[in-house]
Structure 1
């Protein structure tokens, strides 16, 4: 299997960008893609907690919180930080890779509140990946498929 990674030059540029714009874009995308499926589940334990998703191969950290109305950008210290490559996050979301496999092979790193991490894992396991990925606009869906196939 090809180990696809973003060019180091891209990571060096992205890591210098302010965190707010990508976090705002992520929150908007998560509200469109994840929230319709997530709000049908028991997500109350996520509300008011702070999260960070660190995409290691592009030097990007997304900071957000969960409110009663969905995802919102947040700049505070994270209660839970999850780190992985972009490809591994897509494989995880599509269920082509198991979170435990990624965790024990050190491709997925969880830092912070362990109990919260388990709640997030269980909620993600309850999501239908086809329903989530099916909501992607066509160009993004194609890019995600190419990245996962690499």
Structure 2
């Protein structure tokens, strides 16, 4: 007798939401470098695993980038030197800045909305060097997500061993 399990459910749809204002007020009083450190760790890990193309490091080389999560009151300021993403410890003007609320970034990361729609609907915005910002946005759009190896692992989660 063969059992066939149904496919794992799709991830839940991310609704439009706003984080509580208290969280924003608290975060704005705290140092911002932990956000940059976390983001750089994730970007460097993705690069080492081959999930982030080398073109990303080339585009960002020597540039100051900023990612702002408006409803969280947090920002990450970082750069890329010698192919490694590094947090910036002192506040400096960014060459390009991405702004949006947490739900918009989550929709982008989970591919529930494409970047063009999020920018067109003004849920995400680019300021500063818009040519660099658009190049980064287009690079994100071109990423194969989830990568085939990870997609295979996710599919395998719903299967029972024989």
Match of 1:104 among 96, 99, 120: 120
Q: Within 1, Cα distance between the matches of 2:31 and 2:120?
A: 31
Match of 1:89 among 95, 101, 105: 105
Is the contact between residue 59 and residue 136 of structure 2 (CA under 8 Å) also seen in structure 1? no
Secondary structure of 1:38's counterpart equals coil
**1:13 is the counterpart of 2:29:** no
Aligned to 1:28: 41
Deviations 1:14-42 (A, max 9, x none): 11111222211221122123553224446
Aligned to 2:143: 127
Match of 1:70 among 84, 95, 99: 84
Aligned residues: 133
Is the contact between residue 43 and residue 123 of structure 1 (CA under 8 Å) also seen in structure 2? no
TM-score computed with the length of structure 2 as normaliser: 0.73
Secondary structure of 1:15's counterpart equals helix
1:119 is displaced (CA, Å) by 1.0
Aligned to 1:50: 64
1:61 is displaced (CA, Å) by 0.7
Is the contact between residue 6 and residue 58 of structure 1 (CA under 8 Å) also seen in structure 2? yes
Structure 2 stretches lacking a partner, 5+ long? 1-13, 151-162
* Change over 3 Å in CA distance of 1:88–1:34 after alignment to 2: farther
TM-score computed with the length of structure 1 as normaliser: 0.78
Aligned to 1:138: none
Structure with bigger helix share is 1
* Change over 3 Å in CA distance of 1:2–1:25 after alignment to 2: closer
Is the contact between residue 15 and residue 60 of structure 1 (CA under 8 Å) also seen in structure 2? yes
Q: Within 1, Cα distance between the matches of 2:36 and 2:145?
A: 22
Q: Within 2, Cα distance between the matches of 1:45 and 1:125?
A: 15
Aligned to 2:131: 115
Structure 1 runs of 4+ off > 6 angstroms? Answer: none
